[in-house]
Each structure stands twice: as structure tokens, then as C-alpha cells.
Amino acid sequence: MRSSFAAVVAAAVMALAAPAPATAQIEVGVINSLSGNFAAFGERYRTGLQVALDEINAKGGIKGQPLTLSIQDDRSDAQSALAAAEAFAGKGVPVVIGSYASSITGPLAQFLTRRKVPLIVLGSADDSITKPGSPWVFRAKHTSTIVATAYFDYFDHLKATDKSVPLESVAMIYGNGAWPSSLGKVGKQLAAARGYKIVGDQAYDQGVTDFRPILNRFRAANPDILYIVSYAEDGVAITRQMREVGLGAKVIAIDTSAALPSFVQQVGPSAEYVATAVSWSRDVKYPGAGDLYERLKAKAGGEPSFYEAEGYLALMVAADALGRADPKSRESVRDALAATDITTPVTTVNFKSSDGVQGQNPIRSLILQIQDGRHVTVFPADLAAQPPRHPTPAWSAR
């Protein structure tokens, strides 16, 4: 037992120390959470990366050379991600893509910047990664500020289009994790700046499953808008308990959890009218979105979400830059990334720096609403498939 174990460790050490063989292919490093707490997301990102990889290689790879991915699991843990990043930095990969959680991506961004390796953010949406950011870090997907702004633009839009429904007060619930609390923080600033009255503002610890005390408090305040930011599983419990305590509002927005296909399935008819922000949807009016949906669906073997699309987007951005650069030079890849200007079926991408933000794509977040058991893009108007259903009726009237 012990000796075979030592052999495994020794083999691993040798593998780390051995120089990479020279081949006529371009290898992109991927650091993704395939086990541990974030494995569900990591699996979705991997599907998207694979779809992009198939597409790139079917079109002849990068300048005639096939593209390959070296995917490393970070065990949902920063220390493992850093070990993988160190291996990639030493191996000479031209660009690294990773990871999901900000607690992992933050240290990755710091480390790869110091080692001068370009990083394309895969999943983390924390503002601080691109603000102040670094010349080596690029993110094509959204940030908390972009998403929170999309919600409040949507509220403003509803208020302006249907003046008979007053939208004046907002109540907020958010988890205390990095993403929900930053979305809560930006949401509070936006509500104040745009003249909404905050009548409820409550945080909760992840793992709590009883939201009734918070929801009962809100019921007494009778808000026009409910702004809820929760992890996947919490959103299901919140929606069920909202109906149970009879807390309704004219607009109900639930971030992250309501965007997952499983939300509709698990919450059932109570999910109707709920709005949620995403970076991509199958019916968004970008060319090729429907085709991408079919490919993601085939690869995932189930209903894809925006996570798969973000994985696809990250690799498409990498491939585009590699095609315009010398893949042997990281500076050249970095410069090519900085000059990115493409349109993909997910979104348009360019990394313009402004307001102390660098390497961030000003992506337009979409608002989806659940209509007749399907996620439908309802905002912004020029990308929408259907108009929003507004206002949300009271629970008793459903």
C-alpha cells in the first residue's frame, strides 16, 4: 500500500518536472473545477469548451495546426489551481483559460500576471478581476456591475413602458457569497441612484434553507420589486417559500438560480413571470445562436444554459487571438487579445479599457423571463424574442 502510493507520488513529481514534448499542435491550458463544490458548473463549462474546440478544428484549427486543450481539474480549490497554473506557465502554453469561482480566479489572475501568461476568465464575474485588472487578464463575460445594471435597466424599462403600474420600492435578499453579495452591493447603489426606495435588505448564509423569517418581513413592507440573488439550490427554496408565505411583487427577479433549466422543472408553475439575467440564451438575436444551442444541447445531452455558452465564448476568443498572433510568444498573444473585435453567436467581444476597468468586454446582459415553462429573452428590446409579461399577478390570482 505505502510503496505503491509512493510510486504514484513519484510519478506525479516526475510528470511535473519532465519537459513538454515539442509537437506541431497548439495547446491551450484550461483550469476548470471538475470535482468539489463547483463541479456542476465545471461540467457545463467543459461542454462549451468542447463544442468550441470541435468547431475550431473542423474549420482547420489555428493556421492549419490543430488546437488541443490541456484540461486540469482545480478541485474547486485555489491552491490546486495555482499548482496547475505553475505547470502551464512552465510548459509554455500560449494562453490559459480558467476558472469558475472568484476565490480561485483571483489568485490565478495575480499569479499569471506576474508570470506574464495571458488569462481568459472562464466563469468568475467578480468586478475586482478586471477592475483594476491587469494587462494579462481578459474577460468576455459579464461582471457584477454589468448584471446589476441590466436588472435596473429592465426595471426602468418596465416602469417607462407601463406607467399604470407604479414601481417605486425594492426589497433585496442575497446570499453572503462573493457573487451574491457583490450583486447586492451594486444593486443597492443603483437603487439609490435611480430613485427606488429600498424597503428590505437582508443577507443570508449559504446553506440556510428556511427563508420564511426574511420573506415574512418583506411581506409587511409590500415591495413593488423583489431583487433576489441566490445560489442555484437556494432559489428553488426561496420561490417555494415565497408562494407559501404569500409574498408577491409586481416584478420578481431571481439571479443565477432562475437561469438554470432545472429551476423551471423543480419549481413548476410558481416559476412563471420570474426574471433573471444571463450572458446568453438560445433565442437571443445574435447570428448563429440557434445553431449553437443545438450543438451545445447535443454535446451536453440535456438542456444547455448560459454556462456552456460562456465556455464556448472563452475558447472562441482564445482561438481568434491565436489566429492573429505568434502562438510561441505570449506578448504577441496578449496584444492580439487586447485587439480582439469579433462577433460570436454568444455576443460581440472587444476589450476596451475605460473607467479604471481593463481587459473587460462590455457585454450586454440579457434578461430572461420564464413564460409558459420556457426561458424567453425579453430585454434589451433589440435582442428580445418576446415582450415581457408585466406586471406579475398576485399568488392568489394565479
Q: Give least dist CB 59 to another protein, A.
A: 28
The smaller minimum CB distance to another protein, of residues 13 and 298, is found at 13
Q: Give least dist CB 299 to another protein, A.
A: 15
CA distance 258 to 296: 20
The smaller minimum CB distance to another protein, of residues 311 and 388, is found at 311
Q: Give least dist CB 134 to another protein, A.
A: 10
The smaller minimum CB distance to another protein, of residues 185 and 324, is found at 185
Q: Give least dist CB 81 to another protein, A.
A: 9
The smaller minimum CB distance to another protein, of residues 39 and 165, is found at 39
The smaller minimum CB distance to another protein, of residues 12 and 339, is found at 12
Q: Give least dist CB 84 to another protein, A.
A: 8
Q: Give least dist CB 227 to another protein, A.
A: 15
Q: Give least dist CB 294 to another protein, A.
A: 21
Q: Give least dist CB 392 to another protein, A.
A: 16
The smaller minimum CB distance to another protein, of residues 17 and 160, is found at 17
Query: Going by DSSP bridges, is the β-strand pair 197-204/169-175 parallel, antiparallel, or unpaired?
Result: parallel
The smaller minimum CB distance to another protein, of residues 26 and 264, is found at 264
The smaller minimum CB distance to another protein, of residues 41 and 196, is found at 41
The smaller minimum CB distance to another protein, of residues 242 and 384, is found at 242
H, E, C per residue of the chain: CHHHHHHHHHHHHHHHHCCCCCCCCEEEEEEECCCCCCHHHHHHHHHHHHHHHHHHHHCCCECCECEEEEEEECCCCHHHHHHHHHHHHHHCCCCEEECCCHHHHHHHHHHHHHCCCCEEECCCCCHHHCCCCCCCEEECCCCHHHHHHHHHHHHHHHHHHCCCCCCCEEEEEEECCHHHHHHHHHHHHHHHHCCCEEEEEEEECCCCCCCHHHHHHHHHHCCCEEEEEECHHHHHHHHHHHHHHCCCCCEEEEEEHHHCHHHHHHHHHHHCCCEEEECCCCCCCCCCHHHHHHHHHHHHCCCCCHHHHHHHHHHHHHHHHHHHCCCCCHHHHHHHHHCCEEECCCCEEECCCECCECCECCCCCEEEEEECCEEEEEECHHHCCCCCCCCCCCHHHC
Q: At what angle do helices 212-221 and 232-245 cross, to 10 degrees?
A: 50
CA distance 131 to 108: 15
The smaller minimum CB distance to another protein, of residues 139 and 159, is found at 139
Q: Give least dist CB 381 to another protein, A.
A: 32
Indicate the burial class of 79 (C-beta count within 10 angstroms; 0-12, 13-18, 19 or more).
Answer: exposed
Q: Give least dist CB 257 to another protein, A.
A: 8
Cis bond upstream, residue 269 (ω within 30)? no
Measured CA to CA in angstroms, residue 272 lies from 302, 359, 361 at distances of 21, 37, 31
Most distant CA pair in the chain: distance in Å? 76
The smaller minimum CB distance to another protein, of residues 63 and 398, is found at 398
Q: Give least dist CB 339 to another protein, A.
A: 27
